[in-house]
Amino acid sequence: MGKPVHQLDRVVIRFAGDSGDGMQLAGDRFTSETAVFGNDLSTLPSFPAEIRAPAGTLPGVSSFQLHFADHDILTPGDAPDVLVVMNPAALRANLADLPRGGRLIVNIDEFTPRALAKVGYLEDPLADPMLTSYHVHQIPLTSLTKRALDGFPVSKKDADRAKNMFTLGLLSWLYSRPTESTLAYLESRFASRPEIMKANVAAFEAGWSFGETTEDFAVSYQVHPAPLPSGTYRRITGNTALAYGLVAASVRSGLPLFLGSYPITPASDILHELARAKRFGVYTFQAEDEIAGIGAALGASFGGALGVTTTSGPGVALKSETIGLAVALELPLVICDVQRGGPSTGLPTKTEQADLLQAMFGRNGEAPVPIVAPRSPADCFDVALEAVRIATTYRTPVILLSDGYLANGSEPWRIPASADLPDLRVAFATRPNHVGPDGQESFWPYLRDPETLARPWAVPGTPGLEHRIGGLEKADGIGTISYDPANHEHMVRTRAAKVAGIAASIPALEVDDPDGGASLLVLSWGSTYGPVAAATRRVRDAGGRVAHAHLRHLNPFPVNTGEVLAGYRRVLVPEMNTGQLALLVRARYLVDTVSYTKIAGVPFQVAELTHVISDNLGELPG
């Protein structure tokens, strides 16, 4: 056939359709093909909280955006270059995001008067002269799929549902994607229903052939693989990376992993992933509520397991009292909060970073808890290991703050060798640690390691170390109940000093300041890393001088944080909340930070941050 092939350096595609149209699957498969091909990539799925909102309505629109490139990229892209819409609702919900000149692929079969009316189109939007500013491909995707499946022993409904594979085939042709991974996927996914498998494969291949033969597409495109560091890669989402990080921590610590959890969006996939890790001796306990989830995890920690609970912000609120108990008991526990829009039920499927202050302060009494946050989907793996290191070394609950964007977003991940992962082995107490004046040996549960201030972890079953712990204040050392004023003061300050002391074990805050002469520092945490780093690159490409520092540890901060901040005339803190890190940094370091905040349920756009950084630069004397 031989249509011309054009080279591109990067492409952003958005698949959009009804929740039932299989857009997440189409996006996911396209991403796999792209990953196998070797592009760098970043994805952002967006789906309604409702499982099946009424078909064809705006609330029912589900989309999947993918950014892939021949160089390293940091975000799923601000705006699509290509928008695929399966129905009028998808067009209505997404067209405003498509820049002029963008490519629009429309399934015209679904543009019936009734479907148009359902989303408030009074006239056919495809007849709108405004559309001439896009490259529009009006394709009867549904009827082409049905025709391709004519004679296949599948129901009308199943034939209709295969239109996502037809679409995927077309897009795979358009961007010269390898198809093996999709064919292998369909074979294994529908192994028990060969007729469905064959129909989907046929639809996929028909979509590819349609691209090759139709005059509607004059050229196809190629995006060369990205020069990433050598190694073996896979694509990974934040939730999967987090689950794998916890399994890896269990293997590397030698402690059985016990997950106590209650299903909640967007954290449930961690529970699902760990439920499949039984071969690693992983216990997954689906509790009756959030409180029982963390309670069981803490009980398992008392017994010498690696206790973990996974949840989102509303769940953390319910777990607060147990986190406080873990602070008092000084037992290891990891609380993973996959943040979503709040308050209350808020925006279950949308992202936000508004639980930082809840993590920091959301308990009664003085109850300091270390906080760590991953910066990208793959980074969830490393941060899970780090959370476990802190929890087991310092015998403390640790809060890990992921978010909905990281949880469901994906990127290529260079697979580490297990032997290269941190050694997290833990020593349980085995012997009495105190000798009384009478020479009698005994076990004092709150006798601390002088360096870490951690107390011994003596697990039930160890003879001679029987002891009682609880939420009442303890006498330091001996661990008996104490209402003594001086002891309480000492214990509150000791628990705080223990958490503050973790700073000695974490790396210094690094600053990305290539010229060394910037007067503006952008400080980010969590998932804003990608857009902030991409925006600082753009500003530099345009000749601006800007520094970027990213906090992985939110409590305690790296020891040099104050020094770093003091080195810049202005510190800009972009956050997907109303300024929570800015509040902490101002209080702690007396730095007059400038906040840029957004609470829209979606990540920052690179263009938006580029403007904000440039504006701030413009306000500073050269």
Partner 1 sequence: MSSTTADRPTTLPTLTAKDLKTDQEVRWCPGCGDYAILAAVQGFLPELGVPREKMVVISGIGCSSRFPYYLNTYGMHSIHGRAPAIATGLATSRPDLMVWVVTGDGDALSIGGNHLIHTLRRNVNLTILLFNNRIYGLTKGQYSPTSEVGKITKSTPMGSVDQPFNPVSLALGAEATFVARALDSDRQGLTEVLRAAAAHQGSSLVEIYQNCNIYNDGAFEVLKDPATRDAHLVRLVAGEPIRLGAEGERGLVWRRGHLEGLDAASVPVEDLVVHDPYDPDPTTAFALSRLTDPSMAYVPVGVFRDVDRPTYDRQVSAQLEQASAQAGPGDLDALLAGGDTWSL
Residues 522 to 541: which contact partner 1 by CB under 8 A? none
Task: Please state at what angle helix 238-253 crosses helix 379-394, rounded to 10 degrees.
Answer: 40
Q: Which of 135, 189, 234, 570 binds partner 1 (CB under 8 A)?
A: 234
Q: How far apart are CA 445 and CA 483, in angstroms?
A: 17
Q: How far apart are CA 355 and CA 340, in angstroms?
A: 9
Q: How far apart are CA 476 and CA 306, in angstroms?
A: 25
Q: Kindly indicate which of the ranges 75-83, 102-110, 302-310, 559-567 contains the residues binding partner 1, using the contact rule CB under 8 A.
A: 302-310
Residue 260 has phi, psi (to 5 degrees) of -105, 120
Q: Kindly indicate which of the ranges 74-82, 89-97, 458-466, 491-499 contains the residues binding partner 1, using the contact rule CB under 8 A.
A: 458-466
CB of 183 to partner 1, least distance (A): 12
Residue 465 binds partner 1 (CB under 8 A) = yes
**For partner 1, which is the closer residue by CB, 185 or 589?**
185
CB of 53 to partner 1, least distance (A): 30
Residue 228 binds partner 1 (CB under 8 A) = yes
CB of 165 to partner 1, least distance (A): 17
Q: Kindly indicate which of the ranges 199-207, 288-296, 512-520, 611-619 contains the residues binding partner 1, using the contact rule CB under 8 A.
A: 288-296
The residue written with tokens 């992983």 in the block is 282
**For partner 1, which is the closer residue by CB, 388 or 401?**
388
**For partner 1, which is the closer residue by CB, 208 or 302?**
302
Residue 262 binds partner 1 (CB under 8 A) = no
Cβ–Cβ under 8 Å, residues 213 and 386: no
Q: Kindly indicate which of the ranges 285-293, 371-379, 382-390, 422-430 contains the residues binding partner 1, using the contact rule CB under 8 A.
A: 285-293
Q: Which residues of 500-539 are buried (b: 16+ CB within 10 A; e: fewer)?
A: bebbeebeebebbbeeeebbbbbbbbbbbbbbbbbbbbbb
Tell me the longest C-alpha to C-alpha distance in the chain: 96
Q: Which of residues 30-89 bind partner 1 (CB under 8 A)?
A: 32, 35-38
**For partner 1, which is the closer residue by CB, 98 or 247?**
247
Residue 343 binds partner 1 (CB under 8 A) = no
Q: Which of 233, 446, 457, 596 binds partner 1 (CB under 8 A)?
A: 233
Residue 365 binds partner 1 (CB under 8 A) = no
Q: Which of residues 389-428 bind partner 1 (CB under 8 A)?
A: 415-418
Contacts of residue 539, defined as CB under 8 A and 6 or more positions apart, other chains included, come to: 546, 610, 613, 614, 617
Tokens of 322: 């147990």
> What pairs with residue 474 in β-bridges?
481
Q: Which of 210, 302, 525, 568 binds partner 1 (CB under 8 A)?
A: 302
CA angle at residue 406 from 164 to 553, to 5 degrees?
Answer: 170
Q: Kindly indicate which of the ranges 135-143, 274-282, 487-495, 568-576 contains the residues binding partner 1, using the contact rule CB under 8 A.
A: 274-282
Q: Which of 27, 238, 304, 377 binds partner 1 (CB under 8 A)?
A: 304
Q: Kindly indicate which of the ranges 45-53, 229-237, 567-575, 602-610 contains the residues binding partner 1, using the contact rule CB under 8 A.
A: 229-237
**For partner 1, which is the closer residue by CB, 38 or 558?**
38
Secondary structure, 3-state, 286-347: ECCCHHHHHHHHHHHHHCCCEEEEEECHHHHHHHHHHHHHHHHHCCCEEEEEEECECCCCCE
Residue 480 binds partner 1 (CB under 8 A) = yes
Q: How many chain residues touch partner 1 (CB under 8 A)? A: 71
Q: Which of 85, 297, 373, 509 binds partner 1 (CB under 8 A)?
A: 297
Q: Which of 50, 124, 321, 563 binds partner 1 (CB under 8 A)?
A: 321
CB of 379 to partner 1, least distance (A): 15
Query: What is the per-residue DSSP string for 425-438?
Result: ------S--EE-TT
> What pairs with residue 68 in β-bridges?
11, 41
Residue type, 415: I
Q: x/- contact string, 181-210, with partner 1 (CB under 8 A)? A: x-----------------------------
Q: Which of 278, 434, 493, 588 binds partner 1 (CB under 8 A)?
A: 278
Residue 493 CA neighbour count, 13 Å, CB half: 6
Identify which of 377, 404, 411, 383 has the alpha carbon closest to the alpha carbon of residue 268. Answer: 404
Q: Kindly indicate which of the ranges 126-134, 208-216, 284-292, 536-544 contains the residues binding partner 1, using the contact rule CB under 8 A.
A: 284-292
Residue 256 binds partner 1 (CB under 8 A) = yes
Cα radius of gyration (the chain): 27
**For partner 1, which is the closer residue by CB, 446 or 557?**
446
Q: Which of residues 92-131 bind partner 1 (CB under 8 A)?
A: none
Q: Which of 20, 281, 544, 562 binds partner 1 (CB under 8 A)?
A: 281
Q: Which of 466, 484, 615, 619 binds partner 1 (CB under 8 A)?
A: 466
Cβ–Cβ under 8 Å, residues 146 and 159: yes
Q: Which of residues 587-606 bind partner 1 (CB under 8 A)?
A: none
CB of 32 to partner 1, least distance (A): 5
- Run of H or E residues at 586: helix 580-589
Q: Which of 68, 244, 394, 568 binds partner 1 (CB under 8 A)?
A: 244
Identify which of 241, 565, 553 has the alpha carbon closest to the alpha carbon of residue 382. Answer: 241
Tokens of 473: 């204040």
Residue 300 binds partner 1 (CB under 8 A) = yes
**For partner 1, which is the closer residue by CB, 178 or 501?**
178
CB of 51 to partner 1, least distance (A): 25
**For partner 1, which is the closer residue by CB, 452 or 462?**
462
Q: How far apart are CA 182 and CA 186, in angstroms?
A: 6
Cβ–Cβ under 8 Å, residues 1 and 212: yes
Residue 263 binds partner 1 (CB under 8 A) = no
Identify which of 400, 407, 355 has the alpha carbon closest to the alpha carbon of residue 373. Answer: 400
CA angle at residue 307 from 318 to 377, to 5 degrees?
Answer: 80
Residue 431 binds partner 1 (CB under 8 A) = no
